[in-house]
Amino acid sequence: MVKANLIASSNQEMPIVRINGILVEADEIAREMQYHPAESQREAIFLATQALVLQEVLKQRADEIDLQALPFDNESTDEARLRCLLEREVQVPAVTESELELYYRNNPRKFTTPPLLAARHILLAADPVDSEQRSERADMAKALLQQLQQGQAGFDELAREYSDCPSREQGGELGQISIGQTVPELEKQLLRLTVGLAGQPIESRYGYHVIDVRQRIEGQLLPFATVRDKISAELSQRSWHKSVAQYLQILVAQANIEGIVLQGAASPLLQ
């Protein structure tokens, strides 16, 4: 991570920064700040200044070797020169097959399909901002759950009588559920459940759900051959980021930079 300090007088908002004698103008910093949201104005100024310094270092290197570049569609000349400079001067190590296989073995959860559930529910709807109503609905959900646990009533019966979801007409049946088929806060808890009646009502933005999981099919680890290209793309991108960061570090070390001290290997240009 780049660690940097701005060197500026206390009566100035913008630092006075030069790269090999070239001044970074205050209005440039002000325009660049829109791309670097931060918790404070000082931090935003720092991030914007840092980005402009690194851009200038790269521009000066491209000028030094008289680099010409043909822009792609929707690409400025400066962007094209930066792209061609990195392509020409950054050596990116190729990811080996053994590295791909090791990453696959060390991250099985990333390559396992999500579980598939067949479930039914009783929804006790509540306004997200009505705390009194939500409290009442939570108590009611617990009472219904207790009836089910004690065998005082059947799930179909209670769903048809109390559920505020259209699924009540089918006894609360939701069908098969996997990732992306319900709201995140419900999905996160739902996909962790085992077969049977959930021990507690689950809260979501819609209210409280009494859940009964009818069937659960665990996810399967995908074969290495299926995910190899995806792993290769991810690790190649990481390798590129690291190589560009090291290249930038060398350029920064060779430049005469006044007003800001850059140390480290990362860069906002890589985000």
Q: Which amino acid is at 5?
A: N
Same structural domain for residues 56 and 120? no
Tell me if 101 is assigned to some domain. Answer: no
**Domain shared by 16 and 53, yes or no:** yes
Count the alpha carbons within 13 Å of 14 in the hemisphere toward its beta carbon. Answer: 17
- Residue 264 maps to a domain: yes
Q: Answer yes or no: do 118 and 87 share one domain.
A: no
- Is residue 106 situated within a structural domain? no
Residue 192 sits in a domain whose CATH number is 3.10.50.40
Compute mean pLDDT per 10 residues along the chain, 271 residues long, and list them.
Answer: 44 78 93 92 91 95 94 91 95 96 96 95 96 96 96 95 96 93 93 95 96 96 97 97 95 93 54 43
Cα–Cα nearest to 250, from 137, 130, 91, 131: 91
Helices (H) and strands (E) in the chain, counts: 8, 10
pLDDT of residue 271: 43
Number of domains in the chain: 2
Please name the amino acid found at residue 147.
Answer: Q
Kindly state whether residue 222 falls inside one of the protein's structural domains: no
Q: Are residues 42 and 128 in the same domain?
A: no
Half-sphere exposure of 228 (CA within 13 A, CB side): 9
The conformation of residue 96, written as its DSSP 8-state character, comes to: P
Residue 64 lies in a domain: yes
Tell me phi and psi for residue 124, to 5 degrees.
-105, 95
Q: Determine, yes or no, domain membership for 117.
A: yes
Residues 151 and 85 in one domain: no
Sign, CA dihedral 244-245-251-257, equals positive
Residue in 55, 64, 81, 40 with CA at minimum distance from that of residue 267? 55
Cross-strand partners of 207: 125, 204
Residue 159 sits in the same domain as residue 183 = yes
Instruction: Please tell me the pTM assigned to this model.
Output: 0.69
Q: Quote the tokens at residue 144.
A: 């219904």
Is residue 54 domain-resident? yes
Could you tell me the CATH number of the domain that includes residue 48? 1.10.4030
Judgement on whether residues 134 and 174 belong to the same structural domain of the protein: yes
Do 140 and 85 share a domain, yes or no? no
Query: Would 108 be classed as within a structural domain?
Result: no
Only one residue has tokens 């569609």, namely: 73
Q: How is the chain split among helix, strand and coil, in percent rounded to 5?
A: 50, 20, 30
β-partners of residue 204 are 207
Distance of alpha carbon 186 from alpha carbon 115, whole angstroms: 15
Report the C-alpha gap between 211 and 145 in whole angstroms. Answer: 9
Which of 89, 33, 38 lies closest to 254, judged by CA?
89
Q: Which residues contact 198 (CB under 8 A, 6 or more apart)?
A: 145, 210, 211, 212, 213
Residue 268 has a pLDDT of: 46
Which residues span the domain enclosing 205? 113-217
First-residue to last-residue Cα distance in the chain: 12
Q: Please give the pLDDT value at position 30.
A: 92
Q: What strands lie across the sheet with 17-19, from one edge to the other?
A: 22-24, 17-19, 257-258
